Structures are given as C-alpha cells and as structure tokens.
Amino acid sequence: MVGILAPMTEGQQQKKVILSGMQPTNDLTIGQYCGALRNWVELQHEYESLFCVVDLHAITVRQEPAKLRKRTLDVAAMYMAAGIDPDVSTLFVQSHVPEHTQLNWVLTCLTGFGECSRMTQFKDKSAMHADNVNVGLFTYPILMAADILLYNADLVPVGEDQRQHLELTRNLAERFNFHYSPTFTVPEPFIPKVGAKIMSLQEPEKKMSKSDPNEKATIFMVDTDEQILSKVKRAVTDSGTTIVYDEKRPGVANLMTLYSITTGKSNAEIEREFAGLGYAEFKDAVGHAIVTFLRPVRERYVAIRSDEDALKATLKRGAEAARERARKVLRKVYKKTGFVEF
C-alpha cells in the first residue's frame, strides 16, 4: 500500500481517476470476472484507480449480518485474487469510509423526488422484493452519486443498467457546482472493452446472475472443479446435434462463448474442433477448459482469504488512503453548504 500513500509524481497526477465496486450479496461469478474484474486489473495501471466493496448498497435488500460480513471479505479477497494490486490501486470497503454517507445526505437534499421515482432499477427491484420496498432502495442512486463524487472520479465503468444512475450523478455534480461554485468533477461513463456476455446455464436467454435461485445456472468463482464440471454437464442445450454458433440456439451458443473465453479459440475453430462430435464430448471439453481457466484464481483466493488478519489489514490501509482523499472533498462541500467547521 506504500504506492498509494507516497507522494504522487507529476505523471501520476495527470492520470484520470476511475472508481468502481461490486456488492457483496453473493459469491462472484465467471461473468463478473470476465466482464468487469479482468478489465479493472488492466485499468489500474492506466488510471488512478479506486475499487471498493459496496456493502452499504447491499442492505437495500435484507441480508444476514454474519453472511454480509463474510461475503464482504470474500469479495475483497477475490478482487485481489483476480489481480487487483493494493499497492497500485486503492482497495477498501465502502462502509469503512463514513464520508460516503455524509456526502449522501447533502446530495439527497439536492435531489428531486421525481428524479428518484423515474429510476427504472427502483421499479424493477421493487417488483422483485415487494415485501421490502424501503426508502434506501429508492435513494440508492444518490448514495452511488456520493461514492463517485467523493473522489472526483473522472470515469466510471458502467453497464446499461447503471447509465441512468450515472446521469443523475452528473446532474447532481452540475447542480452543486452551479449553486455553490465549482467543487465536483462531472464524471463520464467509461465503456470498457466489450466482452462476450455469459448467459445462464439453465435459461440461456437471460444473463448469468449471482442471485439466480437455481445455483446450477451459475458458475461461481469459488466453485470446485467437480461443481463446475457438473454444472456444465447439466447445462441446457437444444434438440439439435451439431456444435455450431447460432443465436437461435442460445444454449449451445453460450457454451461456445464460455469455451472461447477460456481457450482463446474463435467460433470457427471451435466448430471445426467438434465437427462430427456430440454434446457429451463438447460439454466435457467446455467444463475442463473452465476448470483450467478459473483454478489459478481460486487458488490465489483461498490463500488470500485464509489469512483474514492480513486481508483486514490491507483493507484498513486502503480505507485510510480513501478517507484521506474523501475528507478533503467533504470539507469543501460542508464549508460551501454552510456548516460550521468542526
């Protein structure tokens, strides 16, 4: 973590700031690893990077406290196992930096009720969790804005489901800057390299999800070799017999995507490799390719996670570095808002 705390060189100061995080609501999936984590690992050397485990966001849905604590550490360990270097990036847990919630309140008082009510994710999640439609679920995008603006992030990696939230963040930054004088960087969306979308093994028409109630549908990063092979063996295909990429045959297409990601082979090469062979041979090859691809990451994860004291110390140092930045921004915000200095 020395790299974070040391004075930045002129070259480092010119780097743009990028921030991202994941919720510790379940184990991370192969889709999150390929779609986000591997990109983060590359980005950390090009940008001044902050990566956090967003545990505050997780409690908009009811969580078991012991599981939330465990999964928060699990996710942080998986970040590191995937290649996030805490000596290069700032790695921390969101709730360890109280300035997130302090800035959240100021921004909440700048946000219109109508702005929050238009958020499509609130409508979707309200339908999914009808027994717990809480105010936190409604104001979740404001906390996300605080996460971003607290570090004056220039860029935020976002998928389609978060674009609306980032637009609100931009509006709040501009609104505060207009009313109180320039304070926040207005962030831009960062569109990462388009990776292949990994779909559910059981319902290949929909995206693979860590919250899928059917665990056979999802390959988790912590799955054992046996679990991976079993899940792939039971993956949905179709009534055909040939191994050919066709979006009208989403089950086979998804398995080909997984094989392509884990071996680097093109669809044409895969089709030639399995010409004349059946689903059994193909699934066996896909399963073993995924096992080979994920095993090194899982082994690093087990090693990192087994030393919980060292992991917590790393997160503590990351939180201290994050708070050092966050305090400076919050101090400006509080002064401009009119609060008496503490």
CATH top-level class of 2-195+308-337: alpha beta
Per DSSP, 204 falls in state T
179/108 Cα distance (integer angstroms): 15
- Name which residue leads in pLDDT, 92 or 240: 92
332: annotated active-site residue: no
Instruction: Tell me the per-residue pLDDT of 225-274, one tens digit each, with 9 for 90 and over.
Output: 999 999 999 999 988 889 999 989 999 999 999 999 999 999 999 999 99
pTM above 0.85, yes or no: yes
- Average pLDDT of span 213-219: 93
Is 210 an annotated catalytic residue? yes
Q: 314: closest CA among 50, 98, 86? A: 86
In this structure, what token pair is assigned to residue 45? 């050397």
Q: Give every CB contact of residue 302 below 8 A, 6+ residues apart in sequence.
A: none
pLDDT number for residue 239: 81
Please say if the pLDDT value at position 127 is more than 70.
no
Model pLDDT for residues 20-58, shown as the tens digit of each residue:
999 999 999 999 999 889 999 999 999 999 999 999 999
The two tokens of residue 109 are: 């008082």
Catalytic residue among 15, 70, 207, 316: 207
Domain ranges of the chain: 2-195+308-337, 215-301
Distance of CA 94 to the CA centre of its chain: 13
The predicted pLDDT at position 193 comes to: 67
Which regions of the chain does DSSP assign to beta strands (E)? 17-22, 48-53, 90-93, 155-157, 188-190
Q: Does 12 score more than 50 pLDDT? A: no
Report pLDDT for 120.
77
Q: How confident is the model at residue 123 (pLDDT cuts 50, 70, 90)?
A: low
Are 3 and 88 in contact by the 8 Å Cβ rule? The answer is yes
What is the structure's pLDDT at 16? Answer: 95
In the structure, what pLDDT confidence band is assigned to residue 7 with cuts at 50, 70 and 90? Answer: very low
Q: How is domain 215-301 classified at the CATH fold level?
A: Tyrosyl-Transfer RNA Synthetase (1.10.240)
2-195+308-337 and 215-301, same CATH topology: no
Strands 90-93, 48-53: pairing is parallel
Handedness of CA 78, 83, 87, 91 (dihedral sign): negative
Out of 15, 70, 210, 316, pick the active-site residue: 210
Q: How far is the CA of 289 from the CAs of 197, 199, 263, 265, 286, in angstroms?
A: 17, 17, 7, 11, 5
Question: Confidence class of residue 117 from pLDDT cuts 50, 70 and 90?
Answer: confident
Q: For 157-210, write each residue's pLDDT tens digit.
A: 877 667 888 999 999 999 999 999 999 999 998 876 656 789 999 999 999 999
Return the H-helix or E-strand segment holding 253.
Answer: helix 250-263
| Two structure tokens written together for 98 | 């109280």
81-90 average pLDDT score: 97
Rounded mean pLDDT, 297-314: 98
Mean pLDDT (the chain) is 91
Q: What is the 3-state secondary structure (H, E, C) of 273-297?
A: HCCCCCHHHHHHHHHHHHHHHHHHH
Residue 197 annotated to the active site: no
Three-state SS at 156:
strand
Residue 218: what pLDDT?
96
